[in-house]
């Protein structure tokens, strides 16, 4: 019986993970659930899965959750950043699924690593912001870090059983989002509702907008660099609208190993939770006779400048990826709030990056300082118009 704590249980990844866990009650037990403000769903999850601990954004929300629960649940409710860290390092947890959205996942994930927990990582921002620091801690504490994102999980599978010195390139696939074929002149006027209509995946608002701008793929490039210890020059993005090939690995002899499957996040989640075993999920299987055609194309960086900005940040190193991520988080929320246009996301991130004074990212304090500066500067630029 593997005991699981979930950071971000009310988000898309968290909800899918709980579906997998519920399907295999003899294999998994939920011991911790952490959410932000969605206490309606969290309360339901607590009553259904009976964890020992839960955590929410602040004490007021914690008190609200406590008041909604019957007295026999026995769950302890933590609050704030300290609460998330307590949950992530809880003694009863064997594995922590890190699926909080954005930079908020960094410190709790570090807490899980430092507590020696097995980590299933769906929070790419942890490695975008602090890749060197986090992977150093993974080595120090001898922790198993398993990727959950469908692309990185696919790469992980394609690398299994092969010599890393034989690796030539990582081929990261991207759907291209809802605006792949929209005329460029119409991109300025797209609405949040249009950007949230992803053609293949059901995801939270932030990651869906990131998919539309292809910033999500840029963040995944940076994540892949740290996860698989490869220089960014060996990572190539391929747009693959069908989202059937989840990513590929090319070897020096010309062989390309790909992982294929229907676009359903329960597959990579289950593989991470049960690794090295595979679970019989009972999901629809891939029928290539029905799919018939798989297409690939090179990304247009003129259409998707956020992808180019991510490569730039990755090559710059230091605190630049943290600045990229922080300014993007502010920009995406501003777009969702109708404060800036769709193309304003990339313009804002570019401006903040240009103003940033690069610093080493070897210490957590420097990374958090860069994150804070970028958020403040981005908000100032939005306010200035």
CATH number, domain containing residue 378: 1.10.1740.10
22 and 143 part of one domain: yes
Q: Using only C-alpha atoms, what is the Rg of the chain?
A: 20
- pLDDT of residue 60 exceeding 90, the answer is yes
166 and 137 part of one domain: no
3-state SS class at 94? coil
DSSP states of 271-316: HHHHTTS-----PPPP-HHHH-----B---TTT-HHHHHHHHHHHH
The widest CA-to-CA distance across the chain, in whole angstroms, is 63
49 and 138 part of one domain: yes
User: Of 148, 93, 141, 155, whose CA–CA distance to 124 is shortest?
Assistant: 148
Token pair 């969605």 is found at 38
Residue at 273 is within a domain: no
41 and 69 part of one domain: yes
For residues 189 and 96, which has the higher predicted lDDT (pLDDT)? Answer: 96
Residue at 224 is within a domain: yes
pLDDT at 385: 67
CB neighbour list of residue 179: distance below 8 Å, 6 or more residues apart: 187, 190, 194, 195, 212, 303
Q: What single DSSP character describes residue 52?
A: S
314: tokens are: 């990755």
Q: Which of 8-22, 108-122, 160-174, 198-212 has the lowest mean pLDDT?
A: 198-212
* Each residue's pLDDT tens digit, 125-143: 999 999 999 999 999 999 9
- Choose one of 124, 147, 170: the last residue of a domain: 147
- Domain total for the chain? 3
pLDDT band at 182 (very low <50, low <70, confident <90, very high): confident
Mean pLDDT of the chain: 95
* Each residue's pLDDT tens digit, 272-304: 999 999 999 999 999 999 999 999 999 999 899
pLDDT at 181: 86
176 and 256 part of one domain: yes
139 and 220 part of one domain: no
Residue at 119 is within a domain: yes
46 and 106 part of one domain: yes
* CATH number of the domain within which 52 lies: 3.40.50.720
Per-residue burial over 208-220, b if 16 or more Cβ lie within 10 Å, else e, is bbbbbbbbbbbbb
Residue at 310 is within a domain: no
DSSP states of 102-152: GGGGHHHHHHHHHTT-EEEE--THHHHHHHHHHHHHHHHTT--EEE-SHHH
Domain span including residue 224? 148-263+285-300
Cα–Cα distance, 346 to 187 (Å, whole number): 12
């Amino acid at each position: 019986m593997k005991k699981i704590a979930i950071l971000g249980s009310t988000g898309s990844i968290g909800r899918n993970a709980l579906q997998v866990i519920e399907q295999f009650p003899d294999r998994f037990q939920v011991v911790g659930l952490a959410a932000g403000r969605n206490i309606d769903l969290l309360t339901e999850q607590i009553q259904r899965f009976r964890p020992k601990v839960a955590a929410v954004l602040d004490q007021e929300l914690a008190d609200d959750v406590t008041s909604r629960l019957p007295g026999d649940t026995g769950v302890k409710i933590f609050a704030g950043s300290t609460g998330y860290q307590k949950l992530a390092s809880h003694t009863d947890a064997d594995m922590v699924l890190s699926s909080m959205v954005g930079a908020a996942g960094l410190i709790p994930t570090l807490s899980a690593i430092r507590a020696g927990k097995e980590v299933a990582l769906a929070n790419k921002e942890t490695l975008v912001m602090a890749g060197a620091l986090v992977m150093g801690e993974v080595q120090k504490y001898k922790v198993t870090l398993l990727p959950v994102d469908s692309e990185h999980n696919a790469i992980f599978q394609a690398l299994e059983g092969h010599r890393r010195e034989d690796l030539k390139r990582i081929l990261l696939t991207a759907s291209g989002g809802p605006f792949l074929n929209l005329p460029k002149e119409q991109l300025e006027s797209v609405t949040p509702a249009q950007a949230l209509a992803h053609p293949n995946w059901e995801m939270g608002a932030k990651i869906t907008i990131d998919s539309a701008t292809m910033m999500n793929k840029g963040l995944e490039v940076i994540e892949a660099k740290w996860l698989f210890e490869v220089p960014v020059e060996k990572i190539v993005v391929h747009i693959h609208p069908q989202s059937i090939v989840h990513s590929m690995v090319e070897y020096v002899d010309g062989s390309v190993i790909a992982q294929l499957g229907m676009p359903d996040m329960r597959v990579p989640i289950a593989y991470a939770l049960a690794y090295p075993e595979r679970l019989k999920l009972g999901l629809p299987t891939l029928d290539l006779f029905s799919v018939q055609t798989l297409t690939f194309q090179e990304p247009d960086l003129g259409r998707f400048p956020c992808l180019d900005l991510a490569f730039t940040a990755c090559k710059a190193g230091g605190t630049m990826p943290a600045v990229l991520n922080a300014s993007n988080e502010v920009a995406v929320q501003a777009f969702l709030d109708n404060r800036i246009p769709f193309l304003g996301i990339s313009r804002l991130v570019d401006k903040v990056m240009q103003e940033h004074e690069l610093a080493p990212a070897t210490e957590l304090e420097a990374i958090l300082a860069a994150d804070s500066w970028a958020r403040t500067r981005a908000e100032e630029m939005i306010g200035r118009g």
